[in-house]
A and B are shown apart, each in its own frame.
Chain A
Amino acid sequence: SAVISQKPSRDICQRGTSLTIQCQVDSQVTMMFWYRQQPGQSLTLIATANQGSEATYESGFVIDKFPISRPNLTFSTLTVSNMSPEDSSIYLCSAAGESTAREETQYFGPGTRLLVL
C-alpha cells in the first residue's frame, strides 16, 4: 500500500490569505485526489489531480479557489485561496495505487487541519 504524507499537518490562517498543502506519496501512483472534511461531516471530493494536466473538479469546487498541481506521479499540492472561516476543514490527500486496474484501493494521508480566523 502507498504511504502518504502531508504538510503542514495543521495551520491557523487569517482570512483573505492562501495556504498551500503538499502531498507526497512514497511510490508512483496513477491517481491522486483531494478531499475536504468539514467539522463533523463526511468527506467530499474536491478534485482529481491529473499528472501533467489540469485537475478535474467536482461540482461546487472551482480552480480559482482550489488550484491544484501535480508535477509528477508522487507529488501534488492543493492551495486554498482567499480563505474565509468557512474553509476551516480537514483537507485529505489520497492516492490509488500503482496501476490503472479498477481493483485499486485509495489510501489516505493523515490530513491537514486548517482553521481560518
Chain B
Amino acid sequence: AQSVTQPDIHITVSEGASLELRCNYSYGATPYLFWYVQSPGQGLQLLLKYFSGDTLVQGIKGFEAEFKRSQSSFNLRKPSVHWSDAAEYFCAVGGGGSQGNLIFGKGTKLSVKP
C-alpha cells in the first residue's frame, strides 16, 4: 500500500539549532517526493521537491532534503532554525503532477523556542 510516515508528531527546537524532520514512504513506482509547509491559518507552500537526479535537493527558506532510496526516506533538514519556521510540515509522495493525487503524511508540527 502507498503511504507516508512522519514519525514525529511534534518537535520543539531552539532558535538557531539544527532541524531534521523525518519522512518514510512506501510507493510502488518511482516516487516523486515533496515537502510542504503550512503556517497557522494558511494553505500549503511548497518547500522543495525531488523528481530525479541529485539526491540532495535544495529548497526555499534554507531547507534541504535528501532522498535515500535504500531507506525509503526523504528527510528534511535546516542547519539553523528561525522563529518564523514554526509551522506544520507535510511530506508527500506521488507519481507526478499529471499522474494524480499526492499521498500526504500526517504532518510534523514544529515549535521554536526563543
Partner of B43, one of A45, A48, A102, A108: A108
B114 contacts chain A at the CB level, 8 A cutoff: no
Residues 63-114 (chain B) with a chain A CB within 8 angstroms: 90, 94-102, 104-107
Main secondary structure of the interface of A (DSSP, over half): loop
**Nearest neighbor of A6 in chain B, beta-carbon distance:** B43
A117 contacts chain B at the CB level, 8 A cutoff: no
Interface size class of A (residues with CB under 8 A): 20 to 34
B95 contacts A45, C-beta separation under 8 Å: no
Can you give 28 contacting A-B residue pairs, CB < 8 Å? A1-B46, A30-B98, A31-B97, A31-B98, A31-B100, A41-B106, A42-B106, A43-B102, A48-B100, A92-B44, A97-B98, A99-B98, A101-B96, A101-B98, A102-B97, A103-B32, A104-B97, A104-B98, A105-B49, A106-B34, A107-B46, A108-B36, A108-B44, A108-B45, A109-B43, A110-B42, A111-B42, A111-B43
A42 contacts B101, C-beta separation under 8 Å: no
Q: Enumerate chain A residues within 8 angstroms of B36, measured Cβ to Cβ.
A: 108
Main secondary structure of the interface of B (DSSP, over half): mixed
Interface size class of B (residues with CB under 8 A): 20 to 34
B interface residue numbers (CB < 8 A to A):
32, 34, 36, 41-46, 49, 51, 90, 94-102, 104-107
A100 contacts B101, C-beta separation under 8 Å: no
B43 contacts A100, C-beta separation under 8 Å: no
Knowing A42-B90, A42-B107 are in contact, say whether A104-B46 is a contact too (CB < 8 A).
no
Bound CA–CA A25/B102 (angstroms): 19
Q: Enumerate chain A residues within 8 angstroms of B100, measured Cβ to Cβ.
A: 31, 48
Q: Enumerate chain A residues within 8 angstroms of B105, measured Cβ to Cβ.
A: 42
- Interface membership of chain A positions 71-108, coded 1 if the CB is closer than 8 angstroms to chain B and 0 otherwise: 00000000000000000000010101101111111111
A66 contacts chain B at the CB level, 8 A cutoff: no
